[in-house]
Structure 1
Amino acid sequence: MSVCPMVANLQRESRLGALRLAACRASSKRLESDEPPAKCPRLTESPPDSGFLPSPGSPQPASPHGTSSHPQGPTCIGNYLLLPTGDREHVCRALNLHTGRELQCKIFPLKHYQKKIESYTHLPWHPNIMGIVEVIQGDSKAYVFFEKDFGDMHSYVRSCKRLGEGEAARLFRQIINAVSHCHRSSVILGDLKLRKFVFADKERTQLRLESLEDAHIMKENDDSLSDKHGCPAYVSPEILNTTGTYSGRSADVWSLGVMLYTLLVGRYPFHDSDPSALFSKIRRGQYCIPDHVSPKARCLIRSLLRKEPSERLTAEEILLHPWFEAASNPGCADQDTSSNDQLVPDVPQNCDDIDSFC
């Protein structure tokens, strides 16, 4: 007895031009219709939680039209059983009905999806950046399949309170590798934050940049941007202060400084429940580094969180900083801290975007 009816007339479409997406090439298929097929029978056993399923009581974002943009229950698309996650709009778990392989599926309107995945197709493959596995096109939606993850860095830091410098250096190096690869390939990431980096393994040793949907592809190496949306805790002073353009690379580096500080301290360098007060702190660029942070780590943080964009290190220069080598030595032992204010907050999966920083 089959698990669910298969969608008829599945046709292979030519691979999406010069897709350089993942270690194995991503395939693209076309469905004759993407109207939700008949619901599959209720599963008696679900696969183990792999980081996609929400914990009890997690907030569920509402669709702007009052209904979810993806199926409310298990449905089949091509060879995949889609299971809504409940905590991430437009995202489902996807189980291959033939192989049992579990993936992540992002659902986009068909007319917009090529723009959404443009940065994935532009970038050469990199081990620290999530690649597209497969694309299935319907009449009105595109189903883009990625490797599954094992939780994001924001949640991990919250569970650990903060990281020891050895572990932080190992993970932060992977973050920098991903960002540096993007910058070399003329891609500015924009809304950079810890939540966009996810673990590729259960042991939580391998990181990947999970989302490129907010990225910008530079033309002729010009990284000037005027876009002003992002997560408030990570936004750079020049985005708040300027009415024109700013350097996208330098703004990414500021966000990296916020990420490093948060890894080592367990709270944001700039934090306030009132947005106006938060932005005022960011504009001043004044923050306090606790005593337990090593001198070399302090040096690196201060080299990234500089008010003047031109004074910040580049992503490639960050990799040369001596902190990475020093942090691997036993002398960089983790120490306890009694400060609990401004801990990384337990917020919904998607940080609110800001269209204007007035």
Structure 2
Amino acid sequence: MNVQWIQTPVPGRHNQKRIDPDEPVSKCPRLSESAVDAGLLGSSPGAPVTGALPSVLSAQQGPARIGQYVLVPLSDRPGVQSALDMDTGEELLCKVFDIGRYQEKIRAYSMLSRHKNIAQIKDIVLGESKAYVFQEKDFGDMHTFVKSSNRLPEDLAAKLFYQVVSAVNHCHQSGIILGDLKLRKFVFTDEKRTNLKLEGLEDGHILSGDDDLMFDTHGCPAYVSPEILNGSGSYSGKQADAWSLGIMLYTMLVGRYPFHDLDPATLFSKIRRGTYSLPEGLTLRARCLLRSLLRKDPCERMSAAEVLIHPWFHENMYDTGNPQQEVNFGEQTVPQINMEQDEDLFS
């Protein structure tokens, strides 16, 4: 397949290639189908592609080829493919977007300087109707990790949560609100599962100035903040992200959501009240940090920058480095909120 280099719409961040019109993406129709063959390369989040392709493939199943990449859908990650660079043997992940929207989807990447806890774009291939955005592979997400662990000891939670907050703070300082912030958005970069990165910025909101007021109500109900459910109109995006950070930390330490119910109306009612319980066994500093994030009044919540210098981290971490260095870098009245599969996993 002939590949032509063209100028990238996001200067200085990544390469971009276009597939010639005489070799359309429709030659690989499996990319748009349901991932019935995802088990060929493993269905766990971020399961790596192996160098050898499966030996038995039916006419309707199997990998697809885009440029020098071989792609196979992942059953548990819609819109994401396992990718193998046939030229280098490197294993990657590929996100597929409509060609007319991909620049909007990846624009936030151009707003950020590099950060070790935020995924980068490695390559882009453009087809006639789809854009294929390639990133480094990962080794599973935090939601699955916490669920399988039941709950995390405070020292481990501190090391992982610090990386989460570092990524969020870097985005906030660069004028990006994450909005749909949750455990599943963070993935491990190593097999030992010690290092995390924010897996994507496609759902981020770019601020036009210092004002972080937002109106969007999409997100995961378990993580939504009370002020969004109150339907009063605008809300602070950074303060809503801070609430979601509190939900994440609580779930890591306790092994369940602070507000959970299978009925959406009841769930939203609990979130509006903002009343939750802290189980025995949590240290005083962990309780302090949780209460500083899960405050019903958004103006009383700690910012991501303030969280990074909380004493809880110093108590539980010995290799963080200088925290200041990181800082510098009807009931169901919100029907737009997407009901996602995270709902019942920690109930």
| Alignment TM class, shorter chain as reference | 0.7 to 0.9
CA drift of 1:352 comes to 6.0
Show the counterpart of 1:202: 191
Structure 1 position 36 matched with structure 2 position 27: yes
Structure 1 position 235 matched with structure 2 position 228: no
Question: Matched residues in 1 for 2:250 and 2:10: separation?
Answer: 41
Q: 2:7 aligns with which of 8, 14, 26?
A: 14
Q: Which amino acid aligns with 2:3?
A: L
Give deviations 1:91-127, integer Å, cap 9, x for gaps. 1100011211110000001001111111112211111
Tell whether the 8 Å contact from 1:130 to 1:209 is kept in structure 2 after alignment.
yes
Give deviations 1:219-241, integer Å, cap 9, x for gaps. 11111000001100000000001
Structure 1 position 321 matched with structure 2 position 310: yes
State how many pairs are aligned.
302
Tell whether the 8 Å contact from 1:229 to 1:353 is kept in structure 2 after alignment.
no
Tell whether the 8 Å contact from 2:47 to 2:139 is kept in structure 1 after alignment.
no
Question: Matched residues in 2 for 1:271 and 1:306: separation?
Answer: 17
Tell whether the 8 Å contact from 1:50 to 1:149 is kept in structure 2 after alignment.
no
Tell whether the 8 Å contact from 2:44 to 2:76 is kept in structure 1 after alignment.
no
3-state secondary structure, aligned to 2:16: strand
Q: TM-score, normalised by structure 1?
A: 0.80
Unaligned runs of 5+ in 2: 31-36, 49-59, 319-338
Unaligned runs of 5+ in 1: 1-6, 21-25, 55-70, 330-349
3-state secondary structure, aligned to 1:81: strand
Give deviations 1:291-346, integer Å, cap 9, x for gaps. 111110000000000011110011000011100111248xxxxxxxxxxxxxxxxx
3-state secondary structure, aligned to 1:27: coil
Show the counterpart of 1:178: 167
CA drift of 1:17 comes to 4.0
Q: 1:152 aligns with which of 125, 134, 141?
A: 141
Q: 2:84 aligns with which of 73, 76, 95?
A: 95
Matches within 5 A, 1:1-358: 7=1, 9-20=2-13, 26-32=14-20, 33-37=24-28, 51-53=45-47, 73-328=62-317, 351=340
Q: Indicate the structure with greater helix content.
A: 2
Question: Matched residues in 2 for 1:107 and 1:216: separation?
Answer: 20
3-state secondary structure, aligned to 1:94: strand
3-state secondary structure, aligned to 2:253: helix
Sequence identity (%): 54
RMSD: 2.4
Question: Matched residues in 2 for 1:198 and 1:38: separation?
Answer: 28
Q: Which amino acid aligns with 2:234?
A: T
Which of 279-288 and 120-129 deviates more?
120-129
3-state secondary structure, aligned to 1:180: helix
Which of 28-37 and 158-167 deviates more?
28-37
